[in-house]
Amino acid sequence: MLGPSHRTEPDLTVPPQERADDAALIEQSWREPEKFAGLYDRHAASIYRYVARRLGDGAADDVVAQTFLDAFRHRHRYDLSRGDARPWLYGIAANVIGKQRRAEIRMWRALARTGIDPVTEEFDDRADNRVSASAVQRELAAALADLTGGDRDVLLLVAWADLSYEEVAAALAIPVGTVRSRLNRARRKVSGALGGHDPTSLDEEMCHE
């Protein structure tokens, strides 16, 4: 479980060379299970931040713990051709979050009613800044609550987890074309709810199409 230090310290992006080495670390953990702790050290903070934005701090510790427990249990199934384990981990986290879908929707609807963000932390990493301060406004909260679970997963994995379309497809085990259609549909709904303004729209080059 993540302690308070993970909530207050800035998120440091895992260097690309380490991300590319995730597969080697996972393979080592097949023979030496303790090696898996290195994957946790690399990625737990960013997974925590993503989960906390969706469910609040109260649920984030448990969701992150379950995410890495599930990942450890299924590490032998990991595709070693994928050097970067982030999409795999975010996909597991999305599945765990999906089991708390009603809690997430209740949180967004509460924000839509009150204008008070249940997530009191300030997240200042690059991906969160793209969503901007409008992410705590009532209109956006209501729009997110009204999305289907699949559309919301795709939208937030792109906007908050900073995954490419291909990485989202790998995370959710869906075709890239489905990622595009879900993202376009989610953006249209959010844009419509906000009077034509879409604060979650990302620069296409950043999506690595």
Of 79, 85, 93, 91, give the one whose Cα is nearest residue 20: 85
- Residue 115's pLDDT is what? 64
Q: How far apart are CA 183 and CA 31, in angstroms?
A: 39
Of 187, 160, 182, give the one whose Cα is nearest residue 172: 182
- Residue 203's pLDDT is what? 41
Q: Give the contacts of 61 (CB within 8 A, at least 6 positions apart).
A: 1, 2, 48
pLDDT in tens, 83-131: 999 999 999 999 999 988 887 888 878 877 776 554 433 334 444 544 4
- Residue 33's pLDDT is what? 97
**Domain ranges for the chain:** 14-207
- Using left for φ > 0, alpha for ψ between -120 and 50, and beta otherwise, residue 149 falls in alpha
Q: Are 145 and 109 in contact (CB under 8 A)?
A: yes
Looking up tokens 């949180």 gives: 107
- Residue 138's pLDDT is what? 77
Q: What is the DSSP letter of 10?
A: P
Counting Cα atoms < 13 Å in the Cβ hemisphere of 15 gives 3
For helices 57-73 and 86-98, the axis angle rounded to 10 degrees is 120
- Residue 30's pLDDT is what? 96
Low-confidence ranges of the chain (pLDDT < 70): 1-20, 115-137, 197-209
Q: How far apart are CA 141 and CA 110, in angstroms?
A: 8
Q: Are 158 and 205 in contact (CB under 8 A)?
A: no
Q: How far apart are CA 149 and CA 145, in angstroms?
A: 9
